[in-house]
Each structure stands twice: as structure tokens, then as C-alpha cells.
A = this chain, B = another copy of it.
Amino acid sequence: MSKDRVEEFQETRKRLNDIVMEYAQLETKRFFSLDSQVYRAGALSSKMKELMGLVGSMVLRCDDCITYHITRCFEEGVSSEELEEALSISLIIGGSIVIPHLRRAFETWDELMKKKVYRV
């Protein structure tokens, strides 16, 4: 079976993170670390935090960030209905300029949902 979009995204991400870490000094490394810590469960669950990360990524229109949070939402057991509601909030906040990212967000989600069905 050929690699899908999500797998390709994750490989590129890993390869480029390795290059970043070759050059990165202390502040960059600390920021990367903070970027993980902030999504850990606390007063809010990891699931809700990932959905918030998704909304932030959607309205700022960053495809890589969206793919990452969509994948994490999938891992945290977000349902299609919950995802759709978070995406529709993003759409209303960010406007039609968000639509191209909404399309790709659902494409990624659809790919993950089909993979899940095949694997069960």
C-alpha cells in the first residue's frame, strides 16, 4: 500500500525537525518543549486542548499545523461531529478565507476515518 498524505506529512516533519535541531540553540529548543507541554492534560483534557489547537491553526490558516492537530484529535478519540463543530467555529471566526484550509482539513480527517475502518 502506498504512503498516504498523513504518513508523508509525518516523515517530512521528522526529517525537517532533525535539521532544525542540528542548528537550534537553547531558546529554540525550549520553545519546542513548551509547545508540547501546553497540550498536556490539566484543568482541560488533552482532547479539548487539541481541538483548541486546531481552531487556532485554522483561523491562522497554517496547513501543517492543521494536519498535525487533526491527527492528534483523531488519536484523542474526537468524533466526526465534535470535529465538525470545532471547524465550523473556525470558519465563522475566520471567514471564507479559511475555506481552502477547511477543505484540506476534512480531506485529512476523511483519510484518517477510512484508514480506521479498514484497520478495525
Interface residues of A in 6-65 (CB under 8 A from B): 13, 16-17, 19-20, 22-28, 30-32, 34-35, 37-39, 42-44, 48-49, 51-53, 55-65
Chain B residues with Cβ under 8 A from A27's Cβ?
A: 34, 37-38, 88, 91-92
A86 to B95, CA, bound (A): 15
Chain B residues with Cβ under 8 A from A103's Cβ?
A: 13, 16-17, 19-20
A57 to B100, CA, bound (A): 12
Chain B residues with Cβ under 8 A from A61's Cβ?
A: 62
* B31 contacts A91, C-beta separation under 8 Å: yes
Q: Is the interface of A mostly helix, strand, loop or mixed?
A: helix
* B34 contacts A34, C-beta separation under 8 Å: yes
Chain B residues with Cβ under 8 A from A16's Cβ?
A: 103-104, 106-107
Q: Nearest chain-B residue to A65 (Cβ)?
A: B97
A24 and B84 in contact, given A31-B34, A48-B51 (Cβ under 8 angstroms)? yes
